[in-house]
Amino acid sequence: MRSCLVLGSGRSGTSMLAGVLSGAGFYMGSELLPIDFGGQPGRQTNPKGTFEDRSVNAINEDLLEPLFPRWRLPVGRSWARRRTLQRGLRWASALPPSVEVRSRPDVDERIAEHVSHEPFCFKDPRFCYTLPAWRPHLRDAVLLCVFREPERTATR
């Protein structure tokens, strides 16, 4: 089995694909996130889990942090006050295509540790930005990109 990364936007079916691969014996990480109930009683957004690893997400957050050091929050009707962007929310941010995500030696070591477990399958929406930093470590891993009709994804 070849290792892989699951790519795709939120609500597109990436968790379903990662769940199937988890059942096939892929290493998904040692700290899978718990099932997400969407913050609403009786509404499970991912009833079987997201199959995302907390430490893979942390690596991707660390890669993105220099690009999103601060975020404007609305104060009344103005955007005057600035706050630090909450960790974990950078996946929903927008970067221009020209921005290059660069790694650091300490992050490279953490990535190398994760990809040493073969076959691996990692899923994180942040890969849309951080994939260039992971590529040198992926060897022959395949990239599985999930697409879903945009209107259906947006209404989920």
What are 34-85's pLDDT values in tens digits?
Answer: 886 555 555 566 778 899 999 999 999 999 988 876 554 444 444 444 444 5
38 inside domain: no
Which residues are CB-contacts of 13 (< 8 A; sequence separation ≥ 6)?
Answer: 146, 148
Q: Give me the residues paired with residue 6 across strands.
A: 123, 144
39 inside domain: no
83 inside domain: yes
Give the whole-angstrom CA distance, residue 142 versus residue 145.
10
122 inside domain: yes
40 inside domain: no
Which residues form the domain of 99? 4-33+49-154
Q: CA gyration radius for the chain? A: 16
20 inside domain: yes
Residues 9-37 pLDDT 10s: 877 889 999 999 999 999 999 999 988 65
The total number of structural domains in the chain stands at 1
- Retrieve residue 65's tokens: 């942090």
44 inside domain: no
42 inside domain: no
pLDDT at 44: 60
